[in-house]
Amino acid sequence: MKHLSILLGASAMVAAMSAPAFAQTEFSTGSNITGVGAIEDQITDVEDAVEDDFERSLDRARWGRPDARQGTFGSVALTYVGRDGNTENQDFSLGGRLSHNQGRFQQSVGILLEYGEDDDGDTDTEKTSVIYDANYYFNERLYGFALGRLTTDGLAADFDEVDDFDEYLDLDGRLKRDAFFGVGPGYRIITNDTTAWRVQAGVGIRYTQTTNVVEDDGTLVPAGDRIDSDTDVGYIVSSRLYHSFNENFFLTNDTDFLSSDVNDTATNELGLNFRMAERFATRVSYKSEYVSDRAIRTDNTLGVSLVMGF
């Protein structure tokens, strides 16, 4: 159940892929062939990562239902790259999202398709992911939520293409199917001009199909018994706290706890956000992650993001 945390990440990924991109630009004429353009792209990636870090701390639903476009709307984006010459391969991906908002109820469905071939012309990626997100706001404080995810790997159980024992080992333990659906209530305990604190709790069911190809003694599992199915129930509790000390300094603290038969996972991220000037802002964060079945159960991460314009 530890991997349920990727659900929110998947939402952001599909949202990013659904943004239109119509033209290729370069830093300066000739920059792509000389390598200047590649470095410029890396600089842009750093800037985007910093902006994303600040954006995550804002929490659009902090004080209540965020303003949302009414009705049905969506977008689709795709990318394809085919290579020929010293290497011959291709990659394709398609991402899209459909949303429907009506009054107190907001919901969206996202899909991500990925396909790729290696230099030998063999398929090395064949994945489909679908996500679902819904919220119903009973009033300014009480709301209900639903989250769903389905991921399939078309190559996880492709035993017919296996030629040797090492390839069987590569397939062992891969997820052929991974699905999750959870529901629960949320409540805003504090909501005023300076402080917002909301908590939510829910129950979810995760269904997986995992390849089990090699026995403990190193022999192969019989062909008809190489897929293990498992259904697991998990419980999640989350807290989002925001407090503004003044117009230039605010604190956030995000806490999540997930308990299941597999393990217990908890994360806490404390963030301090400073806006020193019109074009100068800093975010310092400290994140702790606890997983009950690891040898070293707790990992800690210090993050510093800085935005400065001149």
What single-letter amino acid sits at 256?
A: D
- Residue 62 token pair: 């902090």
| pLDDT number for residue 11 | 36
Bridging pattern class, strands 142-153 and 123-137 = antiparallel
Q: How far is CA 49 from CA 15, 37, 126, 252, 272, in A?
A: 15, 18, 28, 18, 17
Query: What does the mean pLDDT of the chain come to?
Result: 82
Residues pairing with 227 in the sheet: 211
Domain count, the chain: 1
Whether the Cβ atoms of residue 137 and residue 148 lie closer than 8 Å to each other: no
pLDDT tens, residue by residue, 240-298: 999 999 888 899 999 999 888 878 999 999 999 888 776 788 889 999 999 998 889 99
Structural domain of 33: 2-308
d(CA 181, CA 15): 20
Of 87-96, 113-122, 205-214, minimum mean pLDDT range: 205-214
- Give the model confidence (pLDDT) of 113-142 as tens digits: 999 998 888 888 899 999 999 999 999 899
pLDDT, average across residues 177-182: 89
Confidence of residue 48 (pLDDT cuts 50, 70, 90): confident
Question: What CATH number should be reported for the domain holding residue 68?
Answer: 2.40.160
What mean pLDDT do residues 148-176 have? 75
Sign of CA dihedral 39, 44, 45, 49: positive
Give SS3 for 296. coil
Flag whether pLDDT at 8 surpasses 50. Answer: no
Distances (CA, A) of 248 to 54, 63, 254, 282: 14, 19, 20, 10
Give the pair of three-digit tokens for residue 123: 């398929």
